[in-house]
């Protein structure tokens, strides 16, 4: 598992500068996800070749390893291994909510991740055409 090295990522100089080495694609429901084996739904907010962020009904611990099933309207993208990087608790009128960031944890899954990203981009292009 790879961990983020904050020293290798200099701080942005302006608020609109992307700080990530691999910018994330913001999503609007093009990619679905759930925790395996529990089936807990996760709302995927953005995704890149190296990670993604979600809105979740449950909390995650830093470096916690999880398995997440991903799919689009076209097909399943299988179960991928991920590691939690951060988790922020928010209190809403409807109850607790968590915003969590993950990185993909297995280099063996790079081909599957790239295929998933390619399909998400194709879906976004078709929706916005």
Does 49 reside within a domain? Answer: yes
Judge residue 78's burial from the number of C-beta atoms within 10 Å of its C-beta, 0-12 exposed, 13-18 middle, 19 or more buried.
Answer: middle
Chain-wide mean pLDDT for the chain?
A: 87
Overall number of domains in the chain: 1
Tens digits of residue pLDDT in 50-75: 999 999 999 999 999 999 999 999 99
- pTM score of the predicted model: 0.81
Residue 8 included in any domain: no
Q: State percent of the chain over pLDDT 70.
A: 84
Which residues are paired to 41 by β-bridges?
34
What band does 94 get if pLDDT is binned at 50, 70 and 90?
confident
The CATH number of the domain holding residue 99 is: 2.40.10.220
**The pLDDT of residue 93:** 85
* pLDDT given at position 129: 75
> Measuring CA to CA, how many Å separate 92 from each of 28, 36, 95, 98?
21, 25, 5, 10
Q: For residue 114, is it within any domain?
A: no
Residues 90, 98 contacting (CB under 8 angstroms) = yes
Contacts of 113 by beta carbon, 8 Å cutoff, 6+ apart: 49, 80, 104
Per-residue model confidence as pLDDT tens digits over 32-56 = 999 999 999 999 999 999 999 999 9
pLDDT at position 20: 55
Which residue range(s) make up the domain with 60? 25-109
Residue 30 lies in a domain: yes
Domain contains 98: yes
For residue 19, being part of any structural domain is answered with: no
**CA dist 102 to 14, 92, 95, Å?**
24, 22, 23
28 to 3, 32, 107: CA distances (angstroms)? 27, 10, 27
How much is the pLDDT for 23? 84
Does some domain include residue 118? no
Task: Establish if 44 belongs to a structural domain.
Answer: yes
């Amino acid at each position: 598992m790879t961990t983020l090295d904050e020293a290798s990522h200099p701080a942005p100089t302006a608020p609109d500068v992307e700080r990530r080495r691999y910018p994330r694609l913001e999503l609007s429901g093009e990619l679905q996800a759930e925790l395996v084996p529990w089936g807990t739904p996760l709302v995927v907010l953005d995704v890149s070749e190296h990670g993604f962020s979600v809105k979740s009904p449950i909390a995650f611990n830093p470096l916690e390893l999880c398995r997440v099933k991903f799919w689009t309207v076209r097909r399943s993208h299988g179960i991928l291994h991920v590691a939690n990087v951060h988790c922020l608790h928010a209190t809403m009128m409807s109850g607790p909510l968590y915003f969590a960031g993950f990185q993909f944890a297995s280099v063996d899954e790079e081909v599957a991740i790239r295929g998933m990203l390619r399909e998400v981009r194709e879906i976004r292009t078709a929706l916005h055409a």
